[in-house]
Amino acid sequence: MMQGAALERRFDEHALVLIKLRIGFIRRRLLVEKSAVKVLAKQEYEALSEFRYQLRRYLHFSEKAVRAEQLTPLQYQLMLHLRGFPGRDWATVGELAERLQIQAHGAVALITRCEEGAWVRRVLSTQDKRQVEVHLTERGARVLEKLAGLHQIELRSLQQVFQVGLLASFNDDGGSQV
C-alpha cells in the first residue's frame, strides 16, 4: 500500500514538472510571437478594412446568386471545386473536404444533398475500390456554368480592389505602399 502511494506521489511530481515545462515553453513562444508582430500604420488598417469590406460584398453577391438557383453557397463551392480541381473534372470526398475546409463526414452529407438535387453523382473508383469519385452531372455543369459566369463578371468589377499590389505592405517588411 505504501509503495502505491509513493508511486502515485512520484507520478504526480513528474506530471507537475512536465506541466511547468510546458507552461514555460508556451510563455517563451508567446514572447517571441509578440516581438515578431509588427505594429500597423493607419493606412494598413484602412487597406485591410477595405479588402475585408470588398470581400464581404463579393461573398454577399455570391450568396444571393447561388440562392437564386436554389443552391446553398457550399453546394456551389463543391461544384466549383469539382470543375476546377487540378488535372481532372472530379474529386474524392477527402479532396473536397480539404478544399471546402470541412470535416469528411460534413463533405459526405453535402455530397448527398447535391446528389439529391441531381447536381453531382458518385462513382466507385476503378483505380482504388476504397475511393469514391464525385462527378458533376450535366444539370450541375449547366448551373455551375451560369453561376461561374456571373461570379467572373462580379470579380472583374472588383479587379482594382483585389490587386495584391494594393496590399504590398503586407507582402514584405518594406515600405507602406497601400
* Overall pTM surpassing 0.95 (yes/no): no
Q: Are 144 and 28 in contact (CB under 8 A)?
A: no
Q: The C-alpha cell of 104 is what?
A: 469528411
> Which residues of the chain are modeled with pLDDT < 50?
1-2, 7, 166-178
Residue pointed to by grid coordinates 512520484: 10
Q: SS3 helix, strand, coil % of the chain, rounded to 5? A: 70, 5, 25
Q: The C-alpha cell of 119 is what?
A: 447536381
pLDDT at 177: 41
